[in-house]
Structure 1
Amino acid sequence: MPSSSPTMLSKTTVIPDQASTLGNLKLSVSDLPMLSCHYIQKGCLFTKPPSSSLPSHTLIPLLKSSLSKTLSNFPPLAGRLTTDENGYVHLTCNDAGVDFLHAAAPELYISDLLSTTDVSESFKEFFAFDRKVSYTGHSSPILAVQVTELADGVFIGCAVNHAVIDGTSVWNFFNTFAQVCRGANKCIRNVPDFRRDSVLISDAVLRLPEGGPVVTFNADAPIRERIFSFSREAIQRLKARANNWQVNGGAAMELMKKQINDHHYPNQKENNGKVVTVLENWLRSAVNSKPQTVTATETVEISSFQSVCALLWRAVTRARKLPAGKTTTFRMAVNCRHRIEPKLEPYYFGNAIQSVPTYASAGEVLSKDLRWCAEQLNKNVKAHDDSMVRRFVEDWEKNPRCFPLGNPDGASITMGSSPRFPMYDNDFGWGRPLAVRSGKANKFDGKISAFPGRDGSGTVDLEVVLAPETMAGLEADPEFMLYASSQL
C-alpha cells in the first residue's frame, strides 16, 4: 500500500462566527470520569466532490466557514476546561477556538483503504490529537477537525474531548456541521441543550494528581482491529435463535454452506471439512431439538443488538481460552438521557452515559445457550432505570474517580458507541459517507464499537479490537462466523 502518512498543508484556528453567551458549564458525574480517557476520534470517508459542483480550491474555505457557523451552535467546543479554587472542573465557553488541519495523501485511493482485512492503519493518520488525554483540555482545544484529501476521496476526522462530549453529542455536532456545509443552516435540525440542572450535576469534587490523570490501560499493547458486518437477514436469524423462535433448518444450512464457500474462513481448503462438520452438528442439534417451553418469567423479548452482543461474548470468551471458573465481564455504555426522571433532552450536550457491567463465569457463558447470555445483558440494561442511575451517581460521589478503561484481567469486553447513532446522515453537499472509521484513541483488547450499516436497512457493523491471538480465534469461530462477515 502507498505511504499512509499524509502531508500536513496547513493548521489554523477557527472561532465561532458569533460570540458565545453561555457561562461556565460544570462538568457532571458522567463527564468527570472521562478526564483520563483519550479524546474521541471519529470520522467519515467520502468520495471527492465533483469539480462541477465544488472546485477543489473552494473545499477547505467552505469547510472552515461552515465549521465557524456550526461552532456558534456548539460554543462549548470552542472553549477550554478550567478548574476553580474549590476543585470543580468547568467548561468555559470563551471562544478560544478549535484546530482545523488540512492534509493531503494524493497517493492513497479509497480502494486502498477499504480493501484490507484488518482496518487500514492509514485511517489512524487522519486524526489530530493522537492519544491526547482529555484532562489536557485545560490548555488545548476541545476539538480538532482534520480534512485529508486523497487521490479520489476526502476524509473528515474529528478529535473531541471525551470529558466534554459523548457519542450522542459527537454525531449531533458532526451532522450539524454537514447540514451547515450543504447550505441547510437556516434551521438547525437538533439544537443541543446545555442545561446543567439534573441529578448528574454534583457537589462532589474529583481530586486529581499533579499534572492530571493518565489513561488506565497500556496503549502500546499489540492489538488487531477488524470490522465485522451483520446483515439484516443474519441479525433476524440470530434474534430468532436468542428468542427460541422457530428455526428454518434447511434455509440456515444452505446459508451456512454459502458463507463457507464465500471464503469467510481462513485456510479454507484445509479447514472447510472440519468447519462444516462442526457447524452441521451444531445446527442439526438446534433444528432437531424440541422448542423450549417459555414460562411466564421468560417472556422478555431479546433485542437484535443484545443477540449480537451475546454472540460476541460467547465467541470472544471461547477464543480467549479462559478457565471455566474465570469471571468474564461484558460492559455496555448506556444512554441515561431518557432514563432519568425528569428526562434530559434527547440532545443534551455532554456525557450522559453510564457503564453497565454484566458478569458471568467463562464456564457459564460457554455452557449455557445464546439466550441465557442475552438474558443476562437484557436484565441489566432493563434494570438501569432512574433509581439505578441515581445509585450510580451516589456511588461515585462516595468515591469520586476516573473511569478505569481497559481490560486488566484479560476477560473483559467493553461495548461502546451505538448502531442507533446517525453516523451516515452526514452529507456535506456531495453525498453520504462511504465508511465510518475511528483513530487510535481508547483502543485495547476487548474494546468494541457498534456502528450502523451504511445501507440503513438494520445492518450492524462491529469495530472489534482484540489481542492478535484472540482475533485469530474469533476469525475461526464457527458460531460467530455463521452470522458475521468481514467488511471490505
Structure 2
Amino acid sequence: MPSLTVEGTMPSPPVRVVSRRTVKPPPRPRERIPLTSWDVSMLSTDYIQKGLLFAPPPFSTAHLVDHLQAALADALATYYPVAGRFVTDQHRDDKGHAVACSVSIDCAGQGVEILHAVADAVAIADVIPPDADVPRVVHSFFPLDGAINYDGHEVPLFVVQVTELDDGVFVGFVYNHALSDGTAFWDFLNTWAEIARATLAPPEAPRALTSRTPLFDRWSPDGGAPAPLVLPYADLSGLIERLSPPPLRERMLHFSAESLVALKERARQELLAAGDTAGAAAVTKFQALSSLMWRCVTRARRLAPDQETVCRAAINNRGRLRPALPAEYFGNTIYAISTAPVRASELLARGHGCAAAAVGRAVAAHTDANIRARVKAWTAKPIMYTLRYFDPNGVMMGSSPRFDMYGCDFGWGKAVAARSGKANKFDGKTSLYPGREGGGSIDAEVVLTPEHMALLEQDEEFWAAVSPDAPRAGKD
C-alpha cells in the first residue's frame, strides 16, 4: 500500500514532466543498418543513463528546450540512426517455419524525445552534496525508467529530460546501448552541443563544425560488406531478461591528478622492489586506480581467504583490431576484459603493485586475435549480457575518463557536474569520469551494497588516496 502523508494525501513527486516533444531528422532515404554481435549482445542490458548538471542559462527553461530541440534536429541529420528503431526479421526454412532471426536499425526517422520537467524545491547543492551518497532524486532526472535495449523496437533510442531546478538545470540523456558504446555516444552528444553553441555565438564567430563524421558501416570479422547477423533463434524474446539489482549505495569520489600520480608511483616502486621491471615500466594510472578499487572493495567485502576474485574492465576494441577501426566508428566495440582469478588473501597480501600489474597483463592480452576469438565463440553460442554475468566477488571498471563530458557545452557554460541514473549498476561497479578541473584528474562513481560501502568508508588505504572535492564553479 502506498505511503500517505499526515493529511492522507499522496506525496507530490519530486519531478513533474510539463511537456514532451518528438524531434525528427530531415527526411532522407530509408535504410537499415545491421547490428553486430557486439550490439546484439547488449539487448538485455539497460539504456545508458548519463547527465550533466548546469548553472542556469541566461534565458528561460522553455527557451532552453527550444534551443536544444532545434540543435538536436540538426545533429540528427548526421546521426540519423539515433532517430530510428530496432526491427527483427525472421528467417524461414523451405517449409516456411521461422528458424532464425536478425536485428537491424530501421532508419526511418521515427524520432527521439525531449521532455521538460520541473524539480520543485531541488537545488544544485541537493544534487551534489559534499561527502555524501549520490541522492536518489538524481534517478528521477532520467526517463524510460527500467527500459532495456530490446525495448528499442518500440520506444525511442534516445530520450532527453531537461529538468529545471531552483538554481540550475539538469540535462539527462537516456540512450540505447545496443545502438553504440560510450565512445560514439559522447561523440554524438558533443556534436549536438557544438551545433547548439554555434547558434548562440556572435554572428561574426566561425561556424565550421569540428566534430568528426560518424562511420555507420558495421564491422565485419571477415572484412567483407556488413550483413545482418543471423541468430539461430526464431524469436529473441526468450533470451531477454529483466533483472533488478539489490539495494545499492552510490558515491562519487574525486582523485586528483597528484593523487593518481602517487598511486602509480607506489605501484611502480613495489614492482621494482619485487624485481618486476617490465611491470614497473608499463604501469599506468588506470591500472593503479583499478588496483586500489579491487583490493579495497575485496577487503570491505570480507571475502573468505580462499575465495577467488577478479578485476574486470570495459575496453575499447577500435585501436586493437588489425586493421584498426576508425575512431569515428559508430556502434559497439567494447568487451569486458578480466584479470586472472586470484585468492582474496593473496590479492591483499601481494600488495598494490602486484594487483596493478595483473590489470596491465589483462589489457596487454586483449589483442586482435583475442577479440576475433571472442567474436567467433559468441557467434557459435549467442548470449545476451545481463547482471547475472557479473561476478559478485569481483569488481568492474566501466565508462572512461577519456570521454569528453565537460566539453559538452550547449552554449551557456561548462557543466557543474556529471552524474548518472540507476541503470547498469551492481555491487562492485566503478564508473570513471574525467575530473571537472581536467589535468588528468578522475571522478569515480563507486557502487556497493550498503554493508560493503559502510566498510569501505572505514578503509584507511582507500581514503588516503581520495582527494577532497574540487571546487564547483557555477560558470567558467
Above 0.5 in TM-score? yes
AA at the equivalent of 1:307:
A
Distance 2:294 2:301 in 1: 11
Contact 1:310 1:374 in 2 (8 A): yes
Distance 2:80 2:238 in 1: 24
AA at the equivalent of 2:88:
T
Residues 339-350 of structure 1 mapped to structure 2, 5 A cutoff: 339-350=320-331
**1:187 matches 2:201:** no
AA at the equivalent of 1:6:
V
Distance 2:234 2:121 in 1: 45
**1:377 matches 2:362:** no
> Which residue pairs with 1:153 in the alignment?
168
Distance 2:466 2:427 in 1: 19
2:17 is paired with a residue whose SS is strand
Specify which of 27, 45, 54 is matched with residue 37 of structure 1. Answer: 45
For residues 79-112 of structure 1, give each alpha carbon's deviation from its aligned partner in whole angstroms, at most 9, with x where no partner exists: 0001112211001111000111110124211112
> Which residue pairs with 2:256 in the alignment?
231
Change (3 A) 1:208 1:434: farther
Contact 1:144 1:160 in 2 (8 A): yes
Distance 1:478 1:169 in 2: 38
Distance 1:345 1:408 in 2: 29
For residues 351-379 of structure 1, give each alpha carbon's deviation from its aligned partner in whole angstroms, at most 9, with x where no partner exists: 11011122222122111111111111101
TM-score by length of 2: 0.87
Contact 2:84 2:110 in 1 (8 A): yes
Specify which of 103, 120, 144 is matched with residue 159 of structure 2. Answer: 144
> Which residue pairs with 1:90 in the alignment?
104
Distance 1:228 1:209 in 2: 43
Residues 201-240 of structure 1 mapped to structure 2, 5 A cutoff: 203-205=229-231, 207=233, 211=237, 213-215=239-241, 217-219=243-245, 221-240=246-265
Deviation at 1:402, TM superposition (A): 0.8
AA at the equivalent of 1:9:
V
> Which residue pairs with 1:439 in the alignment?
421
Contact 1:416 1:450 in 2 (8 A): yes
1:243 is paired with a residue whose SS is helix
1:183 is paired with a residue whose SS is helix
Change (3 A) 1:368 1:233: same
> Which residue pairs with 2:3 in the alignment?
none
Specify which of 74, 77, 81 is matched with residue 82 of structure 2. Answer: 77
AA at the equivalent of 2:68:
L
AA at the equivalent of 1:70:
A
Distance 1:216 1:373 in 2: 34
Distance 1:332 1:216 in 2: 23
1:179 is paired with a residue whose SS is helix
Change (3 A) 1:56 1:135: closer
**1:389 matches 2:371:** yes
For residues 51-86 of structure 1, give each alpha carbon's deviation from its aligned partner in whole angstroms, at most 9, with x where no partner exists: xxx344421111111111111111111000011122
Change (3 A) 1:329 1:404: farther
TM-score by length of 1: 0.85
Unaligned runs of 5+ in 1: 247-290
Distance 2:311 2:267 in 1: 17
2:233 is paired with a residue whose SS is coil
Deviation at 1:228, TM superposition (A): 1.1
**1:101 matches 2:127:** no
> Which residue pairs with 1:452 in the alignment?
434
Deviation at 1:118, TM superposition (A): 0.2
> Which residue pairs with 2:317 in the alignment?
336
> Which residue pairs with 2:18 in the alignment?
9
Change (3 A) 1:84 1:191: same
**1:198 matches 2:220:** yes
AA at the equivalent of 1:422:
D
Deviation at 1:207, TM superposition (A): 3.2
Contact 1:406 1:444 in 2 (8 A): no
> Which residue pairs with 1:115 in the alignment?
129
For residues 21-72 of structure 1, give each alpha carbon's deviation from its aligned partner in whole angstroms, at most 9, with x where no partner exists: 462111111111100001111110000012xxx3444211111111111111
Specify which of 371, 375, 380 is matched with residue 398 of structure 1. Answer: 380
Pairs aligned (count) = 438
Distance 1:234 1:367 in 2: 23
Deviation at 1:231, TM superposition (A): 0.9
| Percent identity (aligned) | 40
For residues 263-303 of structure 1, give each alpha carbon's deviation from its aligned partner in whole angstroms, at most 9, with x where no partner exists: xxxxxxxxxxxxxxxxxxxxxxxxxxxx6164555454210
Deviation at 1:473, TM superposition (A): 1.1
Change (3 A) 1:210 1:402: closer
For residues 296-350 of structure 1, give each alpha carbon's deviation from its aligned partner in whole angstroms, at most 9, with x where no partner exists: 5545421001100001100000000001111112111110011111111102111
2:162 is paired with a residue whose SS is strand
Deviation at 1:467, TM superposition (A): 0.6
Change (3 A) 1:161 1:353: same
AA at the equivalent of 1:123:
V
Contact 2:240 2:384 in 1 (8 A): no
Contact 1:329 1:413 in 2 (8 A): yes
2:254 is paired with a residue whose SS is strand
Contact 1:448 1:463 in 2 (8 A): yes
Distance 1:197 1:438 in 2: 29
Specify which of 157, 160, 167 is matched with residue 182 of structure 2. Answer: 167
Deviation at 1:486, TM superposition (A): 6.1
